[in-house]
Structure 1
Amino acid sequence: MSNQNSNNPLHGITLEMILKELQSSFGWEKLAQKLNVNCFKKDPSINSCLKFFRKTPWAREKLEKIYVEHIKK
């Protein structure tokens, strides 16, 4: 079981950590270009984004994919 977690780049990473890292690296405008969602475009904040991504699984999957691609660079 621990072997599966060691291969998962998201293991131990919270949604808040993902958002903060991507926001500091790209900024809200660039994130909105990468993932076209209103929480990045209209009055963005970490809290509003957390609420949105917790309620929207398809968007969270895309955000996690962006994060994984970002950390591989």
Structure 2
Amino acid sequence: MTAQSPNDPLHGVTLKMILTELVEELGWEELGRRIDIRCFTHTPCIPSSLKFLRRTPWARDKVEELYLRSKM
């Protein structure tokens, strides 16, 4: 069974969709407070944050975790 199976709650949800939704719901300031990474706290923008998150598995995991918690 792969990590992206239909039973995966993130199946079909892109990182861009996750980040955009979190920014709309929380705003950059709150997102930076909850996940203290520089791309959220210093001149944040979607493209640079996506680039960082795609290269940094631990940060992406934190964003995905926050997204899943926000959906419960």
TM-score (norm 2): 0.91
Q: Spell out, residue by residue over 1:29-63, the C-alpha distance to the aligned partner (whole angstroms, 9 max, x if none).
A: 00001100000011100001000000000000011
Give matches, 1:1-73, under 5 Å. Answer: 5-72=5-72
- Greater per-residue helix proportion: 1
Structure 1 counterpart of 2:16, one-letter code: E
Pairs aligned (count): 70
Which structure 2 segments of 5+ residues have no match? none
Which structure 1 segments of 5+ residues have no match? none
Work out the CA distance in 2 between the residues paired with 1:5 and 1:25: 27
Which segments of structure 1 move beyond 3 Å, counting only runs of 4 or more?
none
Work out the CA distance in 2 between the residues paired with 1:11 and 1:58: 19
Superposition deviation, residue 71 in structure 1: 1.1
Work out the CA distance in 1 between the residues paired with 2:30 and 2:38: 13
Q: CA RMSD in A?
A: 1.3
TM-score (norm 1): 0.90
Secondary structure, aligned partner of 1:5: coil
